[in-house]
Amino acid sequence: MSTKHCLALGATLFIAVAFGPVHAGDNPKRGAKVYGACAACHSLEPNLHLTGPSLDGLWGKKAASVANFPRYSGALKEQGFIWDEAPLNAWIADPQAFVPGTYMTFRGIDDEKVRGDLIAFLKIAMAPGGAKSAVAQGLINAEMARGQAPEPLATLGPDHQVTGIRHCQSTFFVATADGRQTPFWEMNLRLKIDSSSNGPKGGKPALVPGGMQGDRASIVFSDIEEIGRLVERKC
Ligand code: HEC
């Protein structure tokens, strides 16, 4: 082989090693920091679905195949590819370009090195039981593994336990188990449902303060029928 050919082969090998799907320099620890941007919408705990599905065990599985996640877009459901380095790289670079019409409203990460680090982390975190191993390896803490999953509500004190809600003149009057009644402007109170095991106990909706001023709050119910039972129009 001529020197020229040798050099060319050497250069090709170098490029293949340096710029292949998983780079030698990819660092899951750095990637775990980048993952913070994903934790707003994803948890790594099995079956804990937020805006997006739990990513637990998804490595090597078909796109849009997470059980009990009913919010997939038609666009992602009709794909059929398997999640590993290459599709994740394209997805994280620009989800809308890779799967036009996806519901994942994430702008994308332009820097290839940053994506490489994140994928090195995801390879660990998206394995079955990935949350546990990522925490055990000190890559993330348990809070990050849960993502922005709501706080468990079952154990709130009587001042947060709603016993009745009446609406009158643009105002919700919220009665709590400590005997108090608090008025909220109707636009400052959000009615929500947390039907997961983190949600309030049946029949005991929770008053959760929101905002800095204390004039805003959410009431979290355990199911939709409870709203009808507890909210009345009465002046
Ligand atoms: C603003 C919320 C949001 C953010 C931020 C977000 N995602 Fe998503 N993600 C979603 C939603 C919603 C879906 C479902 C998309 C669909 O059905 O089209 C999804 C889907 C996915 C899927 C495919 C799941 C499956 O079952 O096939 C992967 C993988 C994924 N996201 C990884 C990430 C990673 C990694 C990040 C951070 C770089 C991230 N997401 C950031 C909301 C988000």
pLDDT, one tens digit per residue, over 146-180 is: 999 988 887 789 999 999 999 999 999 999 999 99
Average pLDDT of the chain is 90
Indicate which residue's Cα is closest to atom 37 of ligand 1: 38
Whether 209 and 128 map to the same domain: the answer is: no
Q: Give the confidence band of 16 by pLDDT, cuts at 50, 70, 90.
A: very low
Whether 30 and 142 map to the same domain: the answer is: yes
DSSP code per residue over 128-161: TTHHHHHHHTTSS-HHHHHTTPPPP-TT--GGGB
Q: pLDDT tens digits for 70-105?
A: 999 999 999 999 999 999 999 999 999 999 999 999
Q: Where a domain ends, among 146, 174, 208?
A: 146
135 is a domain residue? yes
* Ligand 1 atom nearest 34 alpha carbon: 38
Looking at residue 22, its pLDDT comes to 55
98 is a domain residue? yes
Q: Give the integer Cα–Cα distance in Å for 102 and 98.
A: 9
Q: Which domain holds residue 225?
A: 158-233
**pLDDT of 186 higher than 80:** yes
103 lines ligand 1 (CB under 6 A): yes
Tally of domains within the chain? 2
Q: pLDDT tens digits for 210-219?
A: 877 778 999 9
Whether 61 and 123 map to the same domain: the answer is: yes
CATH of the domain at 80: 1.10.760.10
Whether 115 and 226 map to the same domain: the answer is: no
Q: pLDDT tens digits for 104-156?
A: 999 999 999 999 999 999 999 999 999 999 999 999 999 999 999 988 887 78
Looking at residue 15, its pLDDT comes to 43
Looking at residue 17, its pLDDT comes to 43
Torsion of CA 201, 207, 211, 212, to 10 degrees: -120
Whether 124 and 197 map to the same domain: the answer is: no
40 lines ligand 1 (CB under 6 A): yes
Whether 168 and 198 map to the same domain: the answer is: yes
219 is a domain residue? yes
Q: Give the integer Cα–Cα distance in Å for 211 and 191.
A: 15
13 is a domain residue? no
Whether 124 and 62 map to the same domain: the answer is: yes
Whether 63 and 100 map to the same domain: the answer is: yes
User: Which phi and psi angles does 173 have, rounded to 5°?
Assistant: -100, 115
* Ligand 1 atom nearest 71 alpha carbon: 17
